[in-house]
Amino acid sequence: MLYAQTDPAAKRAQLRERLASGELLRVPGAFNPLSARLIQDKGFDGVYISGAVISADLGLPDIGLTTLTEVAGRSQQISRMTDLPSLVDADTGFGEPMNVARTVQTLEDAGVSGLHIEDQVNPKRCGHLDGKAVVDTDTALKRIRAAVAARRDPNLLIMARTDIRAVDGLDVAMDRAKQLVDAGADAIFPEAMKDLGEFEAMRNAVDVPILANMTEFGKSELFTTTQLSNIGVNIVIYPVTLLRSAMGAAERTLDAINADGTQQAVVGEMQTRARLYELLDYESYNAFDSSVFNFTLDNHF
């Protein structure tokens, strides 16, 4: 009932323990708190909170227009609804190193288990678009050092994302990843790798966990969990997958209403009332206070 029973410190410790096992963690992106509950219900290993999804949810492109307040607010809403650890996209840290430090503590207060800071310049853009620009090495390292110094819970995962592959090539990306690890990064997010061999090269270049971004319509192929696991990738995210699926279904429903004057043709594709109530755990609220929920779902769909 209400929020998750596992506190943020325990979830951070859980994430660290799972990463230490060497297994591949599957972390879909939640576009709202309810979808985070669904991710947990389906047996996944964590919840990703995508900057692109937060931007899209606000009707904005993913070019650095969101604020720390908006990202922290949505991070808290999602993180508190699931017992799974959550990993949030903190973009460039929302400013200079002191701003990065504040970002880390604000997101820590929001209950996340980890976050990643990237090395793009402001205004940043989606990692799978062309025309990206990255900061110099000194600036990138200062961001990570500030993030590491600011955290209060040592189990909060500080991940460094590097977008330099698309700008200067794989060899430079591996060198930067090593420097980011030396600066204190607990994990590396190498963005926009072009093939499995590049992921494997990055895996061999650093001795910390690495993340693979399996976003649709991007630079990388959509590799399977078996392929990624076989080369030693530790985390795979599906950042916008659920939002795209939900918006695709919403478009089809609106098209059906326009075409038929009713949604009847697509009702069979919808989540049922019973399933929604199951995810929302109506029964627990009923047990707590029968005045809140005092009917059954028998004969309902």
153 noted as active-site residue: no
Catalytic pick among 18, 125, 151, 161? 161
Catalytic pick among 119, 191, 198, 200? 191
89 noted as active-site residue: yes
116 noted as active-site residue: yes
Domains of the chain, by residue range, sit at 8-239, 247-288
298 noted as active-site residue: no
SS3 of the chain? CCCCCCCHHHHHHHHHHHHHCCCCEEEEECCCHHHHHHHHHCCCCCEEECHHHHHHHCCCCCCCCCCHHHHHHHHHHHHCCCCCCEEEECCCCCCCHHHHHHHHHHHHHCCCCEEEEECECCCCCCCCCCCCCECCHHHHHHHHHHHHHHCCCCCCEEEEEECCHHHHCHHHHHHHHHHHHHCCCCEEEECCCCCHHHHHHHHHHCCCCEEEECCCCCCCCCCCHHHHHHCCCCEEEECCHHHHHHHHHHHHHHHHHHHHCCCHHHHHHCCCHHHHHHHHCHHHHHHHCCCCCCCCCCCCC
Q: How does pLDDT run across 132-170, given as a tens digit for each residue?
A: 799 999 999 999 999 999 999 999 999 999 999 999 999
23 noted as active-site residue: no
pTM comes to 0.94
8-239: CATH architecture: Alpha-Beta Barrel (3.20)
Residue 195 has pLDDT above 60, yes or no: yes
109 noted as active-site residue: no
Catalytic pick among 18, 48, 151, 163? 48
Q: How does pLDDT run across 9-51, given as a tens digit for each residue?
A: 999 999 999 999 999 999 999 999 999 999 999 999 999 999 9
128 noted as active-site residue: no
Catalytic pick among 45, 108, 126, 203? 126
45 noted as active-site residue: no
